Amino acid sequence: MKMVCPKVNAIAVAWLVAIMSPLLHPARGEEAAGRQPIRIAIYADSGAGEKAPNLSRCLSPASKFVYQLVTAKEIRDGALDRFDVVIHPGGSGQKQANALGVDGRRAVCGFVERGGGYVGICAGAYLASDHFVWSLGLLDARFVDRKHWARGTGEVQLRLSELGRKALGVDRETLAIYYGQGPLLAPDHNDDIPDYELLATYETEIAENGAPAGVMKGTAAIARGIYGRGRVFCFSPHPEKTAGLETLVHAAVRWAAGARNADQ
């Protein structure tokens, strides 16, 4: 069986989202977040490339965030119940999945399904997808050109959708960001997971190490979706490693926390 997480019935999800629409409106989430700090768990175990120094720089108390580094064992033991959002950072999605194990992956899925938020960056987006046997299946996404995942690193340009500009608080259509071999996302068309919202695509590309040119352009770079009562926000590139784009991380965390904090 591909997934370790319980499948979420799409019809049930649609009904649940409809009755919860006042709670899922981004403005409500941000308003609630202003009442108390958003509690963030940052995964910092095997497969987390940097043990989160860039994320900790972004998530200062002045921005109304409090965070704690958590291990795979702590997640398996129920640590996420103390938080509003979990962030899975860059590194290796497969190593993170292996460290979590079946019970840890179920714990992450259950946390989101009950109303928690998930933010995945690069490896964390690989982990959130519905693509691999070890993936969580939180986002209805597969990968384009999986063979050439190690296509190189460097600065690329993104083109933001109208929704993306609003969601991320960006007043321009394109922006430069650091790319570190994150996934090229595309819809997976899994009826058990609601379709994701496209926030940004790749306007330019990196095609090294034998990767074909012309593939990366136009693929999804930033996407968000609903899973159960919770929210999932994924970046293929690295806003936390790009000077001046810390606010993109802020926007993702606030949106992801919105469903849970609206109840408080």
pLDDT digits (tens, 9 = 90+) for 114-160: 999 999 999 999 999 998 899 999 999 999 999 999 999 999 999 99
Q: Within a domain: residue 14?
A: yes
Helix axes 26-33, 246-261, angle to 10 degrees: 90
Q: What tokens does 235 get?
A: 């970046």
Q: Which residues lie below 8 Å from residue 155, measured CB to CB, with a gap of 6+?
A: 176, 177, 178, 179
**163 touches 233 (CB < 8 A):** no
pLDDT the model gives residue 1: 40
User: What is the mean pLDDT of the segment spanning 211-215?
Assistant: 96
Q: Within a domain: residue 221?
A: yes
Percent of the chain with pLDDT over 90: 76
Between the alpha carbon of residue 106 and those of residues 72, 111, 218, 225, the distances in Å are 12, 8, 32, 18
Tell me: pLDDT of 7 over 90.
no
Q: Which residues lie below 8 Å from residue 238, measured CB to CB, with a gap of 6+?
A: 54, 90, 121, 122, 177, 178, 179, 180, 182
The residues that bridge with 43 in the sheet, in sequence order, are 70
Tell me what the pLDDT averaged over the chain comes to: 87
Q: Within a domain: residue 2?
A: no
Q: What is the CATH number of the domain that holds 74?
A: 3.40.50.880
Q: What tokens does 201 get?
A: 């695509």
pLDDT, one tens digit per residue, over 72-105 is: 999 999 999 999 999 999 999 999 999 999 999 9
| Per-position DSSP letters for 108-171, written without gaps between them | HHHHHHTT-EEEEETHHHHHHSSSSTT----S-EEES-GGG----EEEEEEEE-HHHHHHHT--
| Distance of alpha carbon 260 from the chain centroid | 16
pLDDT, one tens digit per residue, over 51-80 is: 667 888 888 777 789 999 999 999 999 999
d(CA 254, CA 26): 8
Domain count for the chain, please give it: 1
Domain range enclosing 125: 10-261
pLDDT the model gives residue 5: 65
Q: Within a domain: residue 114?
A: yes
Q: Which long-range contacts (CB under 8 A, 24 or more apart) does 68-73 make?
A: 68/39, 68/40, 68/41, 68/42, 69/42, 69/43, 69/44, 70/41, 70/42, 70/43, 70/44, 70/45, 71/44, 71/45, 72/43, 72/45, 72/46, 72/96, 72/99, 72/100, 72/101, 72/104, 73/45, 73/104
pLDDT the model gives residue 199: 98
pLDDT the model gives residue 13: 45
Q: Within a domain: residue 93?
A: yes
User: What is the mean pLDDT of the segment spanning 154-177?
Assistant: 97
d(CA 260, CA 256): 8
Tell me: pLDDT of 179 over 80.
yes
User: What is the mean pLDDT of the segment spanning 228-255?
Assistant: 96
Q: What tokens does 136 get?
A: 């969580």
